[in-house]
Amino acid sequence: MMTVQFSARVGRITPPASLRMAERVRQLVAQGRTIIDLTIGEPDLPTPPAILEAASRAMRDGATRYTSSRGIVPLREAIAQSFWRKHQIKLKPEDIVVTPGAKQAIAYALLALLDDGDEVLIPEPCWLSYRDLVLLPGARPVAVPSAFEGGFLPDMAGLEAWVTERTKLLILNNPVNPTGAVWSDKTLEGIAEFCSKHNVVLLQDQIYEDIVFDGRAVHPILPEAGSGFPALVVNGFSKTFSMTGFRIGYIAATGGMMENILKLQEQFATCASSVSQAAAIAAAQMEEEQIRVVQRVYQDRRDAVLRVAKEVGVRVFRAGGTFYNFVDVGAISEDAWEAGERLLMESGVASVPGPAYGQSGAGFIRLSLVQDIPVLEEAIRRIGALGGNAPWNAGAGQPQ
Ligand SMILES: Cc1ncc(COP(=O)(O)O)c(C=O)c1O
């Protein structure tokens, strides 16, 4: 049989660890095991009925054809209004391109901006896909480490240490998957200065911006066109509105930056799904009410996890947002991959090992809080039974 020589490009990328773990869970369940599955970054809350109804209506009304490559104008207007309502940032519809999911928006931005050998600063632990999507166009991901003690965010000196003349871009996820860390407004001011000083493009992934706790709010930085430094914002409807299967996201920037992004969308996808765009308009109309729902549900779950973790002596990083918790499993094994495996096989709790998110995740696992509180409490008790009450776990769950 002839062997196919695949490109060096595709050889650089690997399948996401969270999907690999989810597949293992499926296999174990098929063998009759009962597993608490906390692997996947997908909300368990139902998609709100008004969104489903808008999608059905769009199909019945004939919205079944290609749309403008940028996305339909009413949706881009709704996104611009949301930017104004939440962030007091003024955008025009032409500053926005609607994409098939935020992931594709990030891929466009990286393909449009990076050449061979360019370096991209990525604070770690971080979402698995950034590294692979940076490798695709031949650029080099540069991990900027952080630690539990520093709130799982690097400080400015940490960032400065990794800049070279090849540094082209910084990827900032706020709040952060997998730790739930939130960048403070003050640090973001420092980052803005850093980007203008080093002429670094800022790519902000705001996919979890609505899921923040304790009354906090997070805002992206988008300098006026022609001032400051180039910045882009990516967001989407997957997480806040439980619309992962609709595949609908967007990318925004001022000053004509969308034209090169658009070229990629025109060749890769033509446009985002017409039906999903109609559904997203309905989502945007109920945004304020839905944000209140997700903030309450996921904050209650985080609080339940912290409470039980404290009881059983397991150290959990106090997430300021997202629906993830980063849990110290050093008492189960020094190797978090092994700890994750033991938790799966001996305790029936499926997680994603922290090192999948970069070396800074060593010693931790990520739990996705996509089950009801009693199930999450049970998962933490089982983690405690396997490796709780370790000396370094004293003070578990204390706010930082
Ligand atoms: C940090 C981060 N960015 C982007 C995405 C992609 O979201 P979408 O479903 O819109 O492609 C995810 C999904 O897990 C994510 O965790």
Q: Is the pLDDT of residue 399 over 60?
A: no
Measured CA distances, 57 to 242, 274, 292, 346 (Å): 19, 12, 26, 48
Cβ within 8 Å of residue 33, ≥6 positions away: 348
Atom of ligand 1 minimally distant from the CA of 104: 11
CA of 215 to the centre of ligand 1 (A): 23
CA of 388 to the centre of ligand 1 (A): 32
Confidence band for 156, pLDDT divided at 50, 70 and 90: confident
Alpha carbon distance 182, 218 (integer Å)? 8
SS (H, E, C) 68-125: CCCCCHHHHHHHHHHHHHHHCCCCCHHHEEEECCHHHHHHHHHHHHCCCCCEEEEECC
- Least confident span in 129-133, 317-321, 380-384, 392-396: 392-396
Residue 170: strand pairing partners: 121, 202
Q: Which pLDDT belongs to residue 383?
A: 97
Q: Is the pLDDT of residue 398 over 50?
A: no
Q: Which of 79, 129, 172, 218 to mutate to test ligand 1, by most ligand atoms within 8 A of the CB atom? A: 129
- Least confident span in 73-87, 215-229, 267-281: 215-229
Alpha helix (H) residue ranges in 207-351: 258-268, 274-285, 287-312, 336-342
Residue 356 in tokens: 């999948």
Q: Which fold has domain 10-46+288-393?
A: Aspartate Aminotransferase, domain 1 (3.90.1150)
Cβ contact 304:376 at 8 Å:
yes
Q: Is 159 helix (H, G, I), strand (E, B) or coil?
A: helix
Q: What are phi and psi of 204, to 5 degrees?
A: -105, 125
Domain ranges of the chain: 10-46+288-393, 49-286
Residue whose tokens read 């999903």:
276
The class that CATH gives domain 49-286 is alpha beta
Span 140-168, average pLDDT: 94
Give tens-digit pLDDT for 308-357. 999 999 999 999 999 999 999 999 999 999 999 999 999 999 999 999 99
Q: Is the pLDDT of residue 396 over 50?
A: no
CA of 16 to the centre of ligand 1 (A): 12
Q: What is the pTM of this model?
A: 0.95
Give tens-digit pLDDT for 308-321. 999 999 999 999 99
Pocket (CB within 6 angstroms of ligand 1): 41, 101-103, 127, 173, 177, 205, 207, 236, 238, 244, 249
Alpha carbon distance 397, 395 (integer Å)? 6
